[in-house]
A and B are shown apart, each in its own frame.
Chain A
Amino acid sequence: MSKRFSTLDTTRLLFDHPKILFRLIERMDRHETRYVRESDLVSEVLAYSSSLSGADRDRVRLAINTENLFRSGLVIDIIKAEGERRLVFQDALINLMRACDASLYQELTDARLRGHLVTLRDVRARLEISSFSEVDPDFTELRDDLNERVSQLIGLLRQNVLRMQSISAQFAELSGDASRAPERFLEFRQNLLEQIVTLYERHIKPTLVFLNPYTRLPDGSNLFETLEAMVRLLETHGDHNLADQLFRSSLSLNALYKPIQAVAHEVEHFLRKTRRGMVQYNAMEHFYGKLRELKGETETLSLRRKWLEGGEFARSTGFLVGLRAQQRPKHYAFGNSPSYYQLLFSELDLRISDLRRKAEVPELQQVEGGGRTARVDVQRINQLYQWLETLELRPTNDLVRELHGRLEGFIPGYRFPDLLAALNRMVNTPPDGFQVVTTNRFRALETSQEATDVSEPASEQFVYRKRRLELQAEKHHD
């Protein structure tokens, strides 16, 4: 068994079979150690690979063993202590693994945050006595150090925020028993409160305090003061690039405050819940978790999986299964029917004749509420009437819609009141050879969508009685 894998391939295998490391990291976190026992690794690999077949199994077993991991540099140290071999994995690998599974994030504790703050203060102190000269290696090193620290801090906090945002699922888990067994609710509740309070006090609150720009600390400046002081220092020494960068970093840190605050609110709500409220909360979380799983399935590499496949989910709840689809609007029937084409062509003819007379189109000036006078109105209507005089129409079932279609977007300044006037005219003096039949059916017209989107007034509606335009001789039946 002397087969060796390159670092790249080993890493690839580890990510192909991420469960192995996930479990090892979980164990590490549980025991709060920085190493993995070799025996744990071996048993984990054996247990996991037993479900694999043939070549895959061999590959996993060969790649994920101490020898190969060490030689490929993924395990950086092997410690022999207390009769066992302990493997220290590369930090980068572990962190990447943590990034793949939100539950593996380590919570930031007060102590850790403080550690970061102290290092930043230290950097600041060194910056104060630094030479700010590009040729001084002390300064350039310090600058690199500063960049690294800040980006590390942001990364850490961001991870933590992501982790906190999944807190609702954690609550549901914590309080699941409490909400299900009403008779033991009080006992569970006590327990639950303790756990949540720990979470809140040890993790959420410190982070909030840490990220609050107004926090006063007994032992020195807070995070933002420290950063600001460094920005000022850099600016006075003309290093605007770095100053800007640091300033932007402090902005992103500041922005992290809000999501954490939201989480803090949620915790507060949760602590005040009654049993009923808690059941509701947990039930929602429980089913939402299922939905999230379905969503997870759409986020795999397969390009075809774009939609949630909810058949099973829907059937499991059974609510409204078999509900009819909403009818879609009927599409135009581009059929073989001669009457359809006749209609289409006659409509086209009419529109073309409108276009031919484009030069004569009356321009109805915009009349705004304030300055309108009767004279303007009359002039306006007259212009419209003249146009209507010469407008060719065909028999139609809905004269109002037809007129609207012919006028809207064609005659500048056209508004619904003009349609009313035009209609009035049509009813009183129908075009030659036609008659207008007013029915008792009501229809509504709306101003077209594009028009309202641009100029933003609420879309107008025109409710009208349907009117038919018929050839006079013909006795038309609808």
Chain B
Amino acid sequence: MTDLKSPQTDQPTSSFDEVLPAHSAALYREFQAGRVIVRELWDNNRSELVANPLYNLLYNHLSHFRTFYEHLGCLLVFNDEGSFFFLKESSDDEAEEHDENAFRVQVVLLLIGRYFARSGRDLEYLACPDAGLGEQDLVAMGADDEYLEILRAARFEKGLSEALDYLVKRNLMFSSGANRYFLSSAGMHFLEELIREYEQA
């Protein structure tokens, strides 16, 4: 890898040189918090989706970060269709607990998807900032005993608001206003995946 003849003066650029430590640290913090890095984030002040600089950073230095996180014992997973990255703990010993987070995310997304489909709307609108879930939807979902029971059994003891919060904190969903939510590309990807799987079954 390194050029041994002139180690002092002409070090070949390491991939570390291309990334600012501050950016990398910011990225690490995001992953540490269990977040998913999506291509576009919701800007509350401008009320529009804006490009996520961290996503671009990852995208542009993909192999660097792959290796980097591999050294930390994790797997950087890139999902092209859903345009998101997430960090997967690759240790198998705690499989149970790791499935748990994924499962809870899936449960909430599935409940939202099912509610939405039953209400006669096209699921695409769930990922639309102007549409998504409104206050009435939240009331209707919160009034459904079966949903609440499932949420409770998935350890969302405070019910729907806690579950939505769980998604928002992970960038799987954005809040576009008081009691208004819509799915991020990552959240929507899950529902699309389910539909695809169903079609192929």
Q: Which residues of A contact B (CB under 8 A)?
A: 168, 179-180, 265-266, 268-270, 272-273, 276-277, 279-288, 291-292, 294-295, 298, 306-308, 310-311, 313-315, 317-327
Contacts and interface: CB of A to CB of B under 8 A. Distances in A.
Contacts of A308: 103, 107, 150, 153-154
B107 A310 contact: yes
Contact of B106 (A168, A270, A282, A314): A314
Contacts of A277: 117, 122
Contact of A319 (B87, B123, B170, B193): B193
Given A317-B190, A324-B32, 5 more contacts: A279-B195, A281-B117, A291-B107, A320-B101, A323-B87
A323 B193 contact: no
B150 A317 contact: no
Given A266-B120, A323-B86, A284 B114 contact: yes
Given A279-B198, A281-B117, A322 B90 contact: yes
Contacts of A322: 75, 88-90, 98-99, 102
B114 to A, nearest CB: 4
B149 A295 contact: yes
A440 to B, nearest CB: 16
B100 A324 contact: no
Nearest to B190: A319
A320 B117 contact: no
Contacts of B113: 280, 284
Given A287-B194, A321-B88, A322-B88, A327 B34 contact: yes
Interface of B: 31-34, 36, 75, 86-90, 95-107, 110-111, 113-114, 116-120, 122-123, 146, 149-150, 153-155, 169-170, 189-191, 193-195, 197-199, 201
A283 B191 CA distance: 9
A89 B116 CA distance: 43
Given A317-B106, A319-B190, A310 B195 contact: no
B1 to A, nearest CB: 30
A307 B155 contact: yes
Given A322-B75, A323-B86, A269 B119 contact: yes
A321 B98 contact: yes
Contact of A311 (B99, B122, B195, B199): B99
Contacts of B98: 321-323
Given A281-B118, A314-B103, A326-B33, A287 B110 contact: yes
Contact of B169 (A272, A276, A326): A326
Contacts of A272: 120
A458 to B, nearest CB: 10
A283 B102 contact: no
A155 to B, nearest CB: 20
22 contacts: A180-B199, A180-B201, A265-B120, A268-B120, A280-B113, A281-B118, A284-B194, A286-B198, A288-B111, A288-B114, A295-B149, A295-B150, A310-B107, A311-B95, A311-B96, A311-B100, A314-B106, A321-B98, A321-B99, A322-B88, A324-B34, A325-B101
B15 to A, nearest CB: 24
A311 B99 CA distance: 5
Given A284-B110, A317-B190, A276 B122 contact: yes
A346 to B, nearest CB: 32
Contacts of A180: 199, 201
Contacts of A270: 120
Given A288-B114, A307-B153, A323 B120 contact: no
Contacts of B36: 320, 323
A323 B101 contact: yes
Given A283-B195, A323-B88, A327-B32, A291 B150 contact: yes
Contacts of B117: 277, 280-281, 284-285
A276 B124 CA distance: 11
A291 B112 CA distance: 13
A216 to B, nearest CB: 30
A283 B88 contact: no
A269 B105 contact: no
B198 A314 contact: no
Contact of A317 (B31, B122, B194): B194
A149 B178 CA distance: 49
A315 B99 CA distance: 7
Contacts of A266: 118, 120
Given A311-B95, A320-B36, A168 B118 contact: yes
Nearest to A321: B102
Given A322-B88, A322-B90, A323-B88, A313 B32 contact: no
Contacts of A327: 32-34
Contacts of B32: 324, 327
B99 A306 contact: no
Contacts of B190: 317, 319-320
A15 B118 CA distance: 34
B168 to A, nearest CB: 12
B41 to A, nearest CB: 18
A168 B87 CA distance: 36
Given A266-B120, A276-B122, A288-B110, A307 B99 contact: no
A314 B90 CA distance: 16
Nearest to A266: B118
B38 to A, nearest CB: 12
> Nearest 5 pairs between A and B by C-beta?
A269-B120, A310-B103, A322-B88, A283-B198, A314-B103
A325 B97 contact: yes
Contact of B102 (A279, A282, A319): A319
A268 B120 CA distance: 9
Contacts of B101: 320, 323-325
A183 B11 CA distance: 62
A308 B201 CA distance: 24
A277 B114 CA distance: 12
B159 to A, nearest CB: 15
